[in-house]
Amino acid sequence: MTPARDIARLLDIMAALRTPGSGCPWDLEQTFQSIVPYTIEEAYEVADAIERGDFADLPDELGDLLLQVVFHARMAEEAGLFSFGDVVEAITTKLIRRHPHVFGDARDLAPEEVKALWSQIKAQEKAERRARRGVAFDEPTGLLAAIPHAMPGLTRAVKLQAKASSVGFDWNDARLVLDKIKEEIAECEEAIAAGDQAHVRAEIGDIIFAVANLARHVDADPEDALRATNAKFERRFAYIEKKLGELGRALKDASLEEMDSLWNEAKKLEA
């Protein structure tokens, strides 16, 4: 088996890895559920390469993500559910159907009209999908039902809030969201004072949800904002570690006051 630029070679390699008796033991024991964490991880690694501007690494990361699609499709084909070709057909059909202003007769539309048409087509697709599946009466069908539960919490919070906003359930001023955050913090303080751990956990969730709402109101993606803050924390902590190392000191031997002083140094250098 040799490398190639053809998607067919990737499909052949995946089939070989999943062939009982001659395939890879690890690949053979995987299931849809077991590789979901890897699928999510690979998507994040693609995002990370883009954020770092590492376009030399991006093809490798995109390949890893593509492998996840091929892996799922291969397991589905083995189970008689669908094949990789069905995946390709599904997305090409969707793209053509959702872009009648490009591939159909709905030409010369304004951006707002394109967005409205997209929403209309998605609603039609959802209705058709439900009819095709014969959905049970008790399946959730409300406004928020289509938002996947497996999304990262912050991302899903924003999706839920945006969907509710589409029918007017929203604040019209970011400052009102700030007031809500302050209210939730005060309630968390009360829960901490009462020593009620379950209540504290619930209030922390309310705070995070409100902060995600604030990010949405100011057009800042909370996942991106948090990743940027994580990177900032890593840089400043690495500075502390480096400076202590230059003094022949280990982190465990430094006082909080010393580390805080070096943290402020790092902060000033960044400014």
> Is 254 inside a domain boundary?
yes
Q: Which pTM was predicted?
A: 0.66
Express each pLDDT in 191-242 by its tens digit. Answer: 999 999 999 999 999 999 999 999 999 999 998 899 899 999 999 999 999 9
- Looking at the domain assignment, is residue 2 inside a domain? no
Q: What is the mean pLDDT of residues 61-79?
A: 98
In a domain, 141, yes or no: no
Domain end residue (candidates: 98, 133, 168): 133
SS (H, E, C) the chain: CCCCCCHHHHHHHHHHHCCCCCCCHHHHHCCHHHHHHHHHHHHHHHHHHHHCCCCCCHHHHHHHHHHHHHHHHHHHHHCCCCCHHHHHHHHHHHHHHHCHHHHCCCCCCCHHHHHHHHHHHHHHHHHHHHHHHCCCCCCCCCCCCCCCCCCCHHHHHHHHHHHHHCCCCCCCCHHHHHHHHHHHHHHHHHHHHHCCHHHHHHHHHHHHHHHHHHHHHCCCCHHHHHHHHHHHHHHHHHHHHHHHHHCCCCHHHCCHHHHHHHHHHHHHHHC
As for how many domains the chain has, the answer is: 3
Same-domain status, 128 and 44: yes
* Per-residue model confidence as pLDDT tens digits over 145-155: 878 887 889 99
Q: Are both 234 and 176 inside the same structural domain?
A: no
**Region 47-58: what's the mean pLDDT?**
92
CATH of the domain at 203: 1.10.287.1080
Whole-number percent of the chain with pLDDT over 90:
73
Residue 1 structure tokens: 């088996």
- The answer to whether residues 18 and 129 belong to one domain is yes
Confidence of residue 112 (pLDDT cuts 50, 70, 90): confident
Q: Which domain holds residue 85?
A: 7-133
Q: Does the pLDDT at position 266 exceed 70?
A: yes
Whether 147 maps to a domain, the answer reads no
93, 107: one domain: yes
Which of the four pLDDT bands, split at 50, 70 and 90, describes residue 4? Answer: confident
CA atoms within 13 A on the CB side of 107: 3
Same domain, 22 and 111: yes
Residue 126 has pLDDT above 90, yes or no: no
pLDDT at 139: 57
Residue 142 lies in a domain: no
- List of residues 6+ apart from 204 with CB closer than 8 A: 188
pLDDT of amino acid 137: 45
- Whether residue 191 is found in the same domain as residue 116: no
Same domain, 52 and 99: yes
My answer on whether 235 and 179 are in the same domain is: no
**Given pLDDT bands bounded at 50, 70 and 90, which one contains residue 135?**
low
